Chains A and B, each alone.
Chain A
Amino acid sequence: MPVPLYGFLQGDTIGLLILADDGDTLEALAQKLQAAASLRVAARHPVRVVYNDKVMNPAMTVAQAGFEALDRFDVLSG
């Protein structure tokens, strides 16, 4: 099921709407955001997904992590 999320990639100048699938892993979600922002920000590895001020396990899915529509998540370097 698609879940629209506000994604903020560290290094970028704007937040982007990312249409996640609830079965996406957070690693895949981070890749989606990096691809969407690639015009402005070079891809970096490794990255961390931060949600509600917590660094998330990249193997978790969007549903397991409890993401709801129009939540914010951040992708940070390192």
Chain B
Amino acid sequence: MLNREEWLPLAHKLDWDYSYVREDEVFPEVISGRPWLPHSEWKDWEESFKTSYREYVDNQYEKDMAVLAVHDAVGRIENVQKLALPWLNSLKVHAAALPLAEFTGVIGNLRGARFGRDSAWRTMATFGALDEYRHTQIPLLLFHPLLRIDPQFDWAHKFYHTNNWFAVAARHFFDELTVGQNAIEFHIATNVVLETGFTNLQFVGLASLARESSDHMFERMVTSIQTDEARHAQIGHPVLAIVMKHDPKYAQYLVDKWFWRNWRLFSILTGLSIDYLTALDQRPYSFKEFMEEWIIDQFLRTLDEFGLEKPWYWDLLLDELDIYHHMIYASAYSYRATLWFNFVIPGPAERKWLRQKYPKYWDDMGPVWEQISERWRSVGPGPANELAVHGTAMPTFCDLCQLPLSAGTPRKNTAKVLVHDGRKYIFCSEPCQWIFLHEPERYASHTDIVKRVLSGEAPAQLPNLLTEYFNLTPDTWGKDAHSGNYEWLGVRKESAA
């Protein structure tokens, strides 16, 4: 019987020469990706984990048992009910955004498992698909039962099946990243950019926040997921190395494009959780500090390792660390009924902290919160006044990332209008327009929420838009978590919810 060291190379390298079909018919460029190269260029593809199926199943079983043990000990509904209100709403964000996005990762990995260019790559992608299926099922198992205490947790299943504006943006991202992607671009974009970089935000940053917030169930879940990510993220690195060798300009484009697209989505998913939806005394760091330590530094090391340049928009990205997610949060607060979780206004103590952490632009953000607070003072707290402290005009969205036109600063919004093939588009930023212009055939026919309203596909009146198109109800749409009943506002109402 072969020992492990003898067995693994046999199980990993299973390629053979085709005699009845051509190699480019087995691995068409349109689905395997470019540059199309003969297998001789891929045959040395290798990664460092080298696990067998039996080892994989044994390890995953142990990890699942550990998650379930923590769930039984501290993951019951009564434990969740003790969590701080802002953090509970952060959980709702991730409960919706995470599970089915991970499921699209199953599809992307299965494409790699069939159309990856070397058998070792295909084997690892098969494990990657199993990982992502696990990452779908665990959060669904943990979050969806919380529907019993809060109907907003229904969005754990529902989110990606709606035309809610944030679901449209997330689908636009994950459909391109995973569902409709060729194997090469999928593994570079997902493994190298998202999983080596940005999932640190989700799985290291949020694990740390969860620990501070005494949410040990969430901490265990994301930590367990991260151990899988660290393994299957290794698939992309040898793919990138080979693309870099044969077409460095394309490799640079893929990395630049996907770093920006990831930044847009994760700055919202995680930025809001760290800087707004975690109680002030439980914030170990700011979003910017975490980005600088865990994402920016690591990404620069990865670029260096592969001989890649910094993306051309690097200075802009560093500038956005100080402002973008603040613009989004204030905008989203004022359109909170368009989302499925509740918000809190940063009070004087939070604003002092934000000013210390973000001195560059906070002078421009502070007046926005003063104005919103003043509206609550004038109408008084209470659920009945929610919509009196809410936006009424139609918000606007980027034709690439599908997120609100909230880039730049309050002094100067960076949205750009472009006419392409006789049709008018608007982009939140120069990089979003740059990505569109590189692949207009991929993006041009997609319509954002504003265009859907103008064409009559979506209702124009906000209440109808919320209920008929965004699949929200008065029970589930986002509210101020305290109904405007903040002691620091000076108009506290004891009876307010």
Whether B330 and A40, one on each chain, are in contact in the complex, defined by CB atoms closer than 8 angstroms, is yes
B133 to chain A, nearest CB (A): 37
B450 at the interface (CB under 8 A from A): yes
A72 at the interface (CB under 8 A from B): yes
Whether A13 and B417, one on each chain, are in contact in the complex, defined by CB atoms closer than 8 angstroms, is no
A63 at the interface (CB under 8 A from B): no
Whether A40 and B450, one on each chain, are in contact in the complex, defined by CB atoms closer than 8 angstroms, is no
Whether A14 and B395, one on each chain, are in contact in the complex, defined by CB atoms closer than 8 angstroms, is yes
Whether A17 and B368, one on each chain, are in contact in the complex, defined by CB atoms closer than 8 angstroms, is no
Give the total of B residues in contact with A, Cβ under 8 Å: 35
B13 at the interface (CB under 8 A from A): no
Give Cα distance in the complex from A41 to B364, angstroms.
11
| Cβ proximity bits A17-60 to B, threshold 8 Å, 1 near / 0 not | 11000000000000000001111111000000000000000000
B411 at the interface (CB under 8 A from A): yes
B156 at the interface (CB under 8 A from A): no
B404 at the interface (CB under 8 A from A): yes
Whether B396 and A12, one on each chain, are in contact in the complex, defined by CB atoms closer than 8 angstroms, is no
Q: How many A-B residue pairs have CB under 8 A?
A: 93
Whether A72 and B390, one on each chain, are in contact in the complex, defined by CB atoms closer than 8 angstroms, is no
Kindly list chain A residues whose C-beta atoms are within 8 Å of the C-beta of B372.
39-40
Whether A6 and B415, one on each chain, are in contact in the complex, defined by CB atoms closer than 8 angstroms, is yes
Kindly list chain B residues whose C-beta atoms are within 8 Å of the C-beta of A16.
391, 393-396
Chain A minimum-CB-distance residue to B374: A42
Whether B389 and A39, one on each chain, are in contact in the complex, defined by CB atoms closer than 8 angstroms, is yes
A76 to chain B, nearest CB (A): 9
Give Cα distance in the complex from A69 to B424, angstroms.
9
A37 to chain B, nearest CB (A): 7
A66 to chain B, nearest CB (A): 14
Give Cα distance in the complex from A48 to B365, angstroms.
21
Interface residues of B (CB under 8 A from A): 326-328, 330-331, 334, 364-365, 367-368, 371-372, 375, 389-396, 404-406, 410-413, 415, 417, 424, 426, 450, 453-454
